[in-house]
């Protein structure tokens, strides 16, 4: 990254918005500029009905090493007031987000990945929350989300030892969705994003919301809340178009309505 380059590169690829943290000399560590840029890009993703899914990557062969400690020591706090650390850990993106991990996702870097819905990682990447080794606490959502996505004992070990988890084991445990060769995590994430983006955008958004929120619902609440979210989708023009396209053996043309 040079002085003229953005801290976060934002690129649109049809219905996919790609965000790349662009501070390779700082191991893509998050400072206030990065946090603000990610928050702004996610707002754009949520507000644009023609965008269906986002991909988050890092420049220079690494994903993110977490908070920029040098900036933190100067009193700079990389938290968006609405969305939290890195502009996404406290209030997660309202559309599906895929982390494309090369090299490392450590400390807040892993917490950013955990705020995404899906993770694609190169097989030689290292994942971990080593905050305890620095006398810190993983306060960017990792202590909540790791136990949701890993067996409790594994999550506890990672958090208390600060030791990294290799990608193959993370994949076997369900934390990582897809494993790629080194240098191809973004390619793998874009392939996965393309598969999602080909689906009905209203259905994708509603499905993501139900999956995310249902953990807080009782059995009775599930059926009521699911109906509130899914009902408008089932009555939409897109739902009718999906049925017609299936019957006519053609690809559907979604309008988001």
- Residues with catalytic annotation? 111, 131
The residue behind tokens 């694609």 is: 120
Beta-carbon count within 10 A of 129 CB: 31
d(CA 101, CA 193): 14
81: helix, coil or strand? coil
Give burial (CB, 10 Å; 0-12/13-18/19+) of 61.
middle
Q: Name the E strands within the chain.
A: 8-13, 16-21, 53-58, 79-80, 84-85, 97-101, 104-106, 118-122, 126-128, 165-166, 178-180
Dihedral (CA of 91, 149, 190, 49) sign: negative
Dihedral (CA of 29, 109, 136, 87) sign: positive
The encoded tokens of residue 104 equal 């490392």
Q: What b-and-e string marks burial along 163-195, b requiring 16 or more CB atoms within 10 Å of the CB?
A: ebbebeebbeeebbbbbbeeebbbebbbebbee
Radius of gyration of the chain (CA): 19
């Amino acid at each position: 990254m040079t002085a003229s380059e953005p801290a976060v590169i934002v690129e649109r690829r049809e219905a996919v918005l790609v965000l790349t943290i662009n501070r390779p000399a700082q191991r893509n560590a998050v400072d206030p500029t990065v946090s603000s840029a990610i928050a702004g890009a996610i707002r754009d993703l949520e507000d644009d009905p023609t965008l269906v899914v986002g991909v988050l990557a890092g420049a220079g062969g690494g994903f993110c090493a977490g908070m920029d400690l040098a900036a933190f020591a100067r009193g700079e706090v990389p938290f968006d007031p609405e969305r939290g650390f890195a502009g996404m850990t406290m209030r997660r993106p309202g559309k599906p987000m895929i982390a494309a991990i090369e090299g490392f996702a450590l400390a807040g870097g892993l917490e950013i990945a955990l705020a995404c819905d899906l993770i694609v990682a190169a097989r030689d990447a290292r994942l971990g929350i080593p905050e305890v080794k620095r006398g810190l606490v993983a306060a960017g959502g990792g202590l909540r989300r790791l136990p949701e996505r890993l067996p409790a004992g594994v999550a506890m070990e990672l958090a208390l030892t600060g030791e990294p988890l290799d990608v193959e084991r993370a994949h076997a445990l369900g934390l990582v969705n897809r494993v790629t060769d080194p240098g191809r995590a973004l390619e793998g994430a874009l392939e996965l994003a393309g598969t999602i983006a080909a689906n009905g955008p209203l259905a994708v958004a509603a499905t993501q919301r139900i999956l995310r929120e249902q953990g807080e619902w009782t059995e009775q609440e599930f059926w009521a809340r699911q109906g509130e979210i899914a009902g408008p989708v089932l009555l939409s023009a897109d739902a009718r178009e999906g049925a017609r396209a299936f019957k006519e053996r053609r690809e559907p043309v979604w309008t988001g309505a």
